[in-house]
Amino acid sequence: MKKRTSGILMPVSSLPGKYGIGDFGSGAYDFVNFLESSSQKNWQILPLGITGFGDSPYQSFSAYAGNPYLIDLDEFLKDSYLTQEDIDEFDLGDNPKRIDYEKLYFNKFPLLRRAYERAREDVRGALEDYYLRNQQWLREFSLFMAIKEEHKGSSWLLWDEKYKNYNSQFVDEFERNNKDKIDFWVFTQYYFEKQWMKLKEYANSKDVKIIGDLPIYVSEDSSDVWAHPEYFKLNEDFVPITVAGVPPDYFTATGQLWGNPIYDWEIMAQRGYDFWIKRVHHSFKIFDTLRIDHFRGFESFWEVPYGSENAVNGRWVKGPAFELFKAIKDALGDLDIIAEDLGFQTPEVVKLIEDTGFPGMKVLQFAFDPNGDSDYLPHNHQRNSIVYTGTHDNKTVKDWHESAPEDELEFAKEYLKLDDIEGYSWGLIRGAWSSNAYLAIAQMQDFLDLGEEARLNIPATIGNNWTWRVEDRLLNSDLANKISNLTLLYRRG
């Protein structure tokens, strides 16, 4: 039986730091210390992948590569690969509450290139070793990014025809003639992994586990689709035939049109699901626990014709279901996986969760239907589940409290005995921590009782998402003690 614990959902990008975005520097180590002081055993993060259009961590240029924005520049200062004057030359953003991704895009990459130019002779051997160890994904990623640069960052579907085929002689020629451009991207991944694994080791030394996040789909504009088109439903011009999303739901009246290519599950099955086994294996190299996003999509997924304006006119299609997870278990053994099973439930989805044995998720903000007996109400929580006050797609609890329907709010007040003295954010946290679920998670914003201004993401929208950052002064000992006391009270410490 899994130990009863709790944790905090906090993106790395939302941490305090000097360089415009949370990174793997001192702010991350300070947060691990805050988790330890708070008696928390779990740090849940969002995907760490390199982001593209829209800055979403769920839309990445690679299923494997890490985000260079998260690389700590102080290491380059220490090793004299950058000077403070170099960093001051580039505006990375100075708002401690918000990330400016445009400034990072135009200014952090030039800084990383400058560091690469000064470091490459010193780290040449380390880069070669790293490349050889990760060649199965790193070759296609570093080539993809170098060719993308040649095309001014445009999607690979808009590249010169000769570069669209990963296995063509033109791609091979580009690789031979542009080693330095390619090696820069190897350099970013080397430092990303080096710094991340050092941070993870520090967290583990404090008895804090890292809960990572695996998006179910990969981006259309990614090295994965470019190098492995056979795994996706594409036409002869490599354009997706159908794309992913979800139908109209709690969040949006027209559904969510994600736009990711749909997998060719028949081909994947013929190849023993090697694509997925490699992804999951890589994830458990860098995380302790893995949350798999949109888990119900493995039983049935919503596909929409390419070019649709929204996700309304889609259809449900059967996925690989338990067969995929049996193949993963046969290859990798028992793994600590969390199934993000939110959304439209069917008996088949419930059975898939039961068959895998993975814990599902219970979100308190969805629980308080005054006319029903929701599975999300704490008295219905199974021990093998994770309870959340809300996820990165939800409102903060304060925002929820200020905008929820009156009958739901009245039921929540009665059920959890919410009042203005304790506060509604802490009341919902108490409801989660007192639950029978073995793991309770709350967003950092809820511990801070922040409102709409601190919401991380509004599904089906682009712009102003993923930008929230926490102010350093808020992560203080008083808050740590308050979290710790609640955690010990409900025997999660």
Q: Which residues are catalytic?
A: 293, 340, 393
Amino acid at 41: K
DSSP assignments along 387-417, one per residue? EES--TTSPPHHHHHHHS-HHHHHHHHHHHT
Residue 29: closest CA among 72, 78, 81: 72
H/E element holding 244? strand 242-246
Block residue for tokens 């439209």: 344
Query: β-strands 439-443, 256-261: how paired?
Result: unpaired
CA distance 28 to 253: 38
Residue 465 CB contacts under 8 Å (≥ 6 apart), including other chains: 54, 55, 56, 456, 457, 458
CA distance 221 to 72: 26
DSSP assignments along 308-339, one per residue? -SSSTT-EEEE--THHHHHHHHHHH-S--EEE
257 beta partners: 245
The HSE-up count of residue 185 (CA atoms within 13 Å, CB side) is 27
Token digits of residue 33: 């210390």
Yes or no: say if 411 and 370 are a contact pair by the CB < 8 Å rule.
Answer: yes
CA distance 263 to 276: 11
Residue 244: closest CA among 220, 271, 277: 220
Token digits of residue 83: 């000077």
Residue 409 CB contacts under 8 Å (≥ 6 apart), including other chains: 368, 401
**Burial 64-90, CB ≥16 within 10 A → b, else e:** bbbbbbbbbbbbbeeeebbeeebbeeb
Residue 302: closest CA among 257, 356, 352: 257
Amino acid at 89: E
Query: β-strands 439-443, 385-388: how paired?
Result: parallel
DSSP-based three-state secondary structure for 210: strand
